Amino acid sequence: MPGVFVVTDSSSDLTPDEVVDFDIEVVPLTVRFGSDEFTDGVDLSVEDFYKRMAESEELPQTACPSPGAFAAAFRRAEEAGANAVVCITISGELSNTLQSAETAAAGFEGDLPIRVLDSKSVSSGLGTMVLEAATSARDGADLKGVLARVDELIPRTRVFAVLNTLENLRKGGRIGGAKAMVGSMLSIKPLIDITGGAVREAGKARTRKRAMHLLYDQMTDAGAIEDVAVMHGRAPDIQDFLDLIAPRFSRASIRLGVLGAVIGSHGGAEILGVSWVGRA
């Protein structure tokens, strides 16, 4: 495969069709339920993940891919004829995945040009960057062109989510700037801002319906936006949210997907999130 090859990790929550259609290599993280370990998206489907999480007394844990897993992906790109690789990962503030990719890339120095980028994002925010990078590469952009496209998207990408609980984030140690919401706030429906790659408080509501409105407010207050995506962790009320935003964001204008095991492990079941790119 000549040209620039795009690699990411499984926290990007890309669909199998997107991965195939855009010729993207996805390096999976590991998910653990107690002593049981699974490879995200390989031997643990999204459906099985949420079923296990509902039935397990222990919260799932995630681990970043090894440098060897990234090296294998880079090697496959080289063998396919790639002349360069752009690897875009989950925020370095949320995972050591970035470091694993950088370690692997160092082993190819002088052999294959590999650039590892911190998306400072997650899930569909990361996924949008990856899709745009792959589109640029498919359209014939060289390494410099693909990097330029991602670099201009990073500061414009916003990610917000409504959680049913902060328990998963608190126990997972990834609550970051939302620490003030712990304690009595565990019964509140929190809105978090993951823009920039760290978890921060963005609001709170006493009901799920009100929390959805807060999420929609973030979208409408942002002005002109594009590449809108809605993601959810098997939320039974996802249609309610789609109906709420429909006056501004029709179903045909957004990417809709299910949050995978990486985000589901830390955000919990029924999480509802949105991402978009602010216009330049």
> Are residues 43 and 176 located together in one domain of the fold?
no
CA distances from 191 to 74, 178, 197 (A): 37, 10, 15
Final residue in a domain of this structure, among 135, 155, 175: 155
Domain CATH for 90 = 3.40.50.10170
Please identify, among 108, 126, 155, the residue that sits at the C-terminal boundary of a domain: 155
Angstrom distance (rounded) from CA 106 to CA 92:
17
Regarding whether 168 and 118 lie in a shared domain, the answer is no
Task: Please indicate, yes or no, whether residues 43 and 79 belong to a single structural domain of this protein.
Answer: yes
Signed CA dihedral, 12, 13, 16, 22: sign only: negative
Is residue 150 located within the same domain as residue 180? no
- Total count of domains within the chain: 2
Say yes or no: 110 and 146 in one domain.
yes
Q: How far apart are CA 210 and CA 243, in angstroms?
A: 14
Choose the final residue of a domain: 138, 155, 172: 155
Identify whether residues 89 and 144 lie together within a single domain: yes
Q: At 81, is the secondary structure helix, strand, or coil?
A: coil
Q: Is the pLDDT of residue 214 over 60?
A: yes
CA distance 211 to 160: 11
Residues in a beta bridge with 8: 26, 88
| 143 and 239 co-located in one domain | no
Q: What is the C-alpha to C-alpha distance for residues 207 and 195, in angstroms, rounded to an integer?
A: 24
Q: Residue 186: pLDDT above 80? A: no
Q: Do 173 and 50 reside in the same domain of the chain? A: no
Same domain, 132 and 271: no
Residues 146 and 13 in one domain: yes
Inter-residue contact 76 to 47 (CB < 8 Å): no
Tokens of 214: 């807060």
CATH for 221: 3.30.1180.10
- Residues 187-196 have pLDDT tens digits of 688 899 999 9
pTM: 0.91
- pLDDT number for residue 241: 98
72 and 10 share one domain:
yes
Whether the predicted pLDDT of 183 surpasses 80: no
Instruction: List pLDDT tens digits, range 43-75.
Output: 999 999 999 998 888 889 999 999 999 999 999
Digit-coded pLDDT (tens) for 24-49: 999 999 999 999 999 999 999 999 99
Q: What is the pLDDT of residue 59?
A: 86
Range of the domain at 240: 156-278
Q: How far is CA 34 from the centre of its chain?
A: 24
Residues 257 and 149 in one domain: no
Which distant-in-sequence residues (6+ apart) come within 8 Å of 263 by Cβ? 11, 13, 122, 123, 231, 233, 271, 273
Residues of the chain above pLDDT 70, percent: 91
Band of pLDDT at residue 167, cut at 50, 70 and 90: low
173 within 8 A of 35, measured Cβ to Cβ: no
